[in-house]
Amino acid sequence: MVLISSYLLNARTSCLHVSNARTENLTSLAPLVVEDRPQAISLLQQARSKRYSVEEAKQLHSYIVKSGPSPNIYYLNSLIRLYAANGALDDAQKLFDGVPHRDVVSWTTLVDGYAKLGKMDDAKELFNSMRERNVVSWNVMITGYGKQGNLEAAREMFDKMPEHDIASWNSLISSFARNDLPEEAFKIFQKVLTEALVMPNKVSFLSVLPAIAELGCALRGRCVHSLILRTGIELDGLLSSALVDMYCKCDCLDHAFQVLKTNQSRDNVASWNPLLAGLVRHKRFEEALDIFQILQLENVEPDVVTIITLIATVAQLGTLGLGKWLHAYAIRKRIRVSATLASALVDMYSKCGCVELALQVFSMAEERTVELWNAMINGLAIHGQGKDAIELFSQMRAENSEFDEVTLASILNACSHSGLVDDGLSFFAAMKDIYKMTPKIQHYGCIVDLLSRVGQLEEAKTFICSKMHMKPDAVLWKSLLGACKTHGNVEIGEFAARHLIELCPDDSSAYVLLSSIYDSAGRLNDAVAMRKMMSDGGVSKEPGFSLIESGGVVHVFLVGDRSHPRLEEVNTMLCEMSEKFRSVGYAPEKQLVLFDIDDQEKEFAISHHSEKLAIAFGLCDTAKGTPLHIVKNLRMCSDCHVFMKLASKIYDREIIVRDNRRFHHFKTGKCSCMDYW
Ligand code: ZN
Ligand code: ZN
């Protein structure tokens, strides 16, 4: 919200450049062919930086051991390491057993091999039979125990060893960090600074940063960051990514961005993904798209994680064009449509108003997880296709798919959005009696909504007061109050408003709705008193805004907007529209305006609701016949609803409006919601 306001103040529109992505260079790895001993030796010398397979190790082995003079112990140790690194411990052990003058490195290498595979008993036996040990041998044991989760043994090794180097400390820090003991890990790191005779190195920071991330302590994170800068350690890709990840998990997204901007690994998309996820978690969707724009400008290719995060963003913003582009991009990049990606796509297409595309993705998905089913059922629900949602739920049960509380919430929601009272009540009963699930607040909310929408206000009130096993929340009271406005029930409206104000004294909706109920009932004095109470209490109404995407650009309109660069054109269009509509009997609903202003001004206010500005702009800016998608932050008022119906008929356009409650598909003068909203 804050962001979108600042977005408006800056009067800028977010352009998303959708460029062709670069083609990938895949260098294939040719199998290694060893021809003679000198080549084998030279290849073995590179063995620390290269990875060889067991077969390749065997080739090297045969040239080095079986031909020529007895090889240097250095090469033999390298071969042991190669086998161990591939998990071929039998080969490693056999070679080790045959080496006549084993040194401490030979022993440690094999101990490390066992430890890396988690065979700590074998590692310990070997370690105990070592005649001489160095600090590396001890460190290998600490790390091994740490990975196994045996922190006691790791700590014992650390305490027993005669001297510690920084790697010993690092092993201990990461052992605790890895085993969900971030506080202990951080304390050991502090000991390095205060007690140890060694300086922390890059690995120390790489070990402690995940612990700080886990703790979510930004202050410690900033201290460690400044320590890194002071020690002069180079901020390479790994370290920057760890910092970015830490800052994101500590919710310091701006710090994360600062690190990324100057980061050497900023061409690696994996360093950007935590930032994107953080922005989405904080509902900073526009900034997430800005980051995407930066990635495009810097030619950083998104991976599947980026795509899923961005699709979630698009779902929230309702920017269908970008959503389609991301989907096409994933296909072009041959990114496998996993169940997670499919669920994200289904959710995005539903929330962008394209339930057909959502169904297409759903039917093509290789695997149907409960998330995917839920996304599809919910998609049908918010589009008012209640019968289809119920049908899909029976199909889900027929295929023996597991379902959960989210599924039931979507089904109840579907019933409520389609006015299917009996179905909704029987699903609610089945939830408790047959599926043995305990209803949560959202399930109760659906039932209240279901009863309220169809005007069964007394039943809804009784349900809240006597059938719920928990305290009703604000959402629930708001549904009831909203329905009282629609059905003109003053008494229950007052009852609901009183509870809502008690729960959320700063929320304007109770005042606005009740005042409007009084207004409609002709109780003007009460309506004025309500508005006075609202302004005395310093409660202000959240300003309405609407988004519309046209030509790859997202345009934002605020209620009574005076900032859009093409406002004059929009206003001319609006005048033309209302004239045409008036000629077929449209009259603005003045009673919806909640200010003490005269009739002419009332008319201006209502005719400049943000979705009206957006639709006028959409009609000017797009070719005839193009469907128009609008996303509104608040619930659409009944006047705008009538206005959209007329616009769809007179201008022959499909108009899809997503408000904060549901979707409205306007076509040839009718709305898919059948006026249930
Ligand atoms: Zn309106
Ligand atoms: Zn509608």
The tens digit of pLDDT for each residue in 339-362 reads 999 999 999 999 998 999 999 999
User: What pLDDT is attached to residue 484?
Assistant: 92
State the Cα angle at 313 between 309 and 315, rounded to 5°: 115
List, for residues 61-71, the tens digit of each pLDDT value.
888 877 667 77
User: What pLDDT is attached to residue 25?
Assistant: 33
Distance 627 CA to ligand 1 centre (A): 20
Does the pLDDT of residue 539 top 80, yes or no?
A: no
- Comparing 391 with 559, the larger pLDDT belongs to 391
CA–CA gap between residue 85 and residue 196 (Å, rounded)? 31
Over range 450-463, report the average pLDDT.
93
Q: Which ligand is nearest to the CA of 666?
A: 2
Return the domain boundaries, the chain. Answer: 302-367, 439-536, 545-671
CA–CA gap between residue 168 and residue 170 (Å, rounded)? 5
Over range 251-279, report the average pLDDT.
84
Q: Which ligand is nearest to the CA of 639?
A: 1
Distance 574 CA to ligand 2 centre (A): 20
Specify the fold of 439-536.
Answer: 1.25.40
Q: Which of 43-52, 215-224, 269-278 has the highest mean pLDDT?
A: 215-224
Distance 212 CA to ligand 1 centre (A): 48
Does the pLDDT of residue 102 top 60, yes or no?
A: yes
Distance 87 CA to ligand 2 centre (A): 63
State the Cα angle at 243 between 242 and 248, rounded to 5°: 100
Distance 640 CA to ligand 1 centre (A): 4
Residue 24 is given by DSSP the state P
Does the pLDDT of residue 507 top 70, yes or no?
A: yes
Task: Name the H helices within 365-487.
Answer: 370-382, 386-398, 405-417, 421-433, 441-453, 457-462, 474-487
End-to-end CA distance of the chain: 23
Spatial contact of 355 and 667, defined as CB atoms under 8 Å apart: no
List, for residues 191-204, the tens digit of each pLDDT value.
999 887 788 999 99
List, for residues 122-138, the tens digit of each pLDDT value.
999 999 999 889 999 99
User: What pLDDT is attached to residue 110?
Assistant: 93
Q: Which ligand is nearest to the CA of 674?
A: 2
Distance 481 CA to ligand 1 centre (A): 18
Distance 95 CA to ligand 2 centre (A): 77
The CA dihedral of 556, 560, 562, 568, to the nearest 10 degrees, is 90
User: What pLDDT is attached to residue 590?
Assistant: 67
- pLDDT band for position 386 (cuts 50, 70, 90): very high
User: What pLDDT is attached to residue 601?
Assistant: 60
Residue 652 is given by DSSP the state T
Q: Is 547 helix (H, G, I), strand (E, B) or coil?
A: strand
Distance 349 CA to ligand 1 centre (A): 25
User: What pLDDT is attached to residue 7?
Assistant: 27
Q: Which ligand is nearest to the CA of 612?
A: 1
Q: Which ligand is nearest to the CA of 659?
A: 2
What separation in angstroms does the CA of 110 have from each of 54, 94, 488, 541? Answer: 16, 11, 82, 70
CA–CA gap between residue 208 and residue 214 (Å, rounded)? 10
Task: Name the H helices within 554-637.
Answer: 567-582, 599-607, 610-621
User: What pLDDT is attached to residue 591?
Assistant: 60
Nearest by Cα to 317 from 646, 657, 631: 631
* 400, amino acid identity: N
Q: Which ligand is nearest to the CA of 641?
A: 2
User: What pLDDT is attached to residue 98?
Assistant: 85
Distance 644 CA to ligand 2 centre (A): 9
Distance 531 CA to ligand 2 centre (A): 28
Q: Look at the alpha carbons of 596, 602, 604, 610 in this order and tell me if their dihedral is positive or negative.
A: positive
User: What pLDDT is attached to residue 4?
Assistant: 26
User: What pLDDT is attached to residue 11?
Assistant: 28
Distance 638 CA to ligand 1 centre (A): 7
Q: Which ligand is nearest to the CA of 655?
A: 2
Distance of CA 349 to the CA centre of its chain: 16
Over range 541-564, report the average pLDDT.
82
